[in-house]
């Protein structure tokens, strides 16, 4: 861009010099008297003037080309600047999105860690409760076994008491019968004694 500007300034200066030379040549042609020697010189100067005009025309075309190139470069520069700005904004947006995603992921990871700890705590509590329930179940079963054993002992005792009661009843009945026999014998023995005394 700077090279094009320098070249454009150089060509402008050269055009200015050429225009001065053309103007000077025209003055010399007008002021010279019309004689043969001067005609030859005039012809040479005319050729020189034509050459200068041709160079001036070429320089003007070059200047126009350089101006067009400069405008094109300025347009491209503006386009590139806009694209750079858009790319920078997009990059910043991507960075912001990445930061937001990273923060959200970190938050989710913290939540997962918290939930994992809570789950571990719940598992430990459940394990302790299961252990307590197993202990309670074992105690209940042991208590039931002890109660069943006590009931069996009581049933056995009841059977023994019942058997003893039955035996006692039999013995009592036997004693009653013996007593009745004895009383009957007594009454039989006392009856003749009474009759003889009469």
Whether 151 is covered by a domain: the verdict is no
At 196 the pLDDT is 46
Gap between the Cα atoms of 173 and 105, Å rounded: 98
Does residue 157 lie within any of the structural domains? Answer: no
pLDDT, position 187: 80
Question: How confident is the model at residue 90, as a pLDDT?
Answer: 93
Q: What is the pLDDT of residue 33?
A: 46
| CB-based burial label for 120 (10 Å; 0-12, 13-18, 19+) | exposed
Does residue 174 sit within a domain?
no
What domain count does the chain have? 1
Has residue 133 been placed in a domain?
A: no
Spans of the chain, pLDDT less than 50: 31-36, 193-198
pLDDT tens digits, 171-195: 888 888 888 888 888 887 765 544 4
12 in a structural domain: yes
Full domain range(s) for residue 100: 2-113
Residue 147 belongs to a domain: no
| Residue 21 resides in a domain | yes
Are 100 and 24 a contacting pair, CB within 8 Å? Answer: no
Model confidence, pTM: 0.37
Rounded CA-CA distance 184/181 in Å is 5
* Residue 39 falls inside a structural domain: yes
């Amino acid at each position: 861009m700077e090279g094009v500007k320098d070249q454009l300034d150089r060509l402008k200066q050269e055009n200015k010099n050429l225009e001065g030379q053309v103007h000077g040549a025209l003055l010399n042609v007008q002021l010279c008297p019309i004689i043969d020697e001067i005609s030859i010189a005039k012809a040479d100067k005319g050729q020189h003037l034509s050459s200068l005009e041709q160079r001036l025309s070429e320089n003007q075309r070059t200047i126009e080309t350089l101006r067009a190139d400069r405008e094109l470069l300025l347009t491209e520069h503006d386009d590139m600047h806009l694209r750079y700005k858009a790319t920078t904004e997009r990059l910043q947006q991507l960075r912001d999105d990445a930061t937001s995603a990273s923060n959200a992921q970190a938050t989710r990871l913290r939540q997962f860690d918290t939930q994992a700890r809570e789950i571990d705590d719940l598992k430990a509590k459940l394990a302790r409760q299961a252990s307590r329930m197993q202990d309670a179940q074992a105690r209940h079963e042991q208590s039931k076994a002890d109660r069943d054993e006590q009931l069996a002992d009581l049933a056995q005792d009841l059977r023994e008491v019942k058997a003893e009661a039955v035996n006692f009843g039999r013995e009592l009945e036997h004693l009653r019968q013996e007593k009745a026999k004895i009383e009957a014998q007594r009454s039989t023995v006392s009856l003749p004694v009474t009759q003889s005394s009469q």
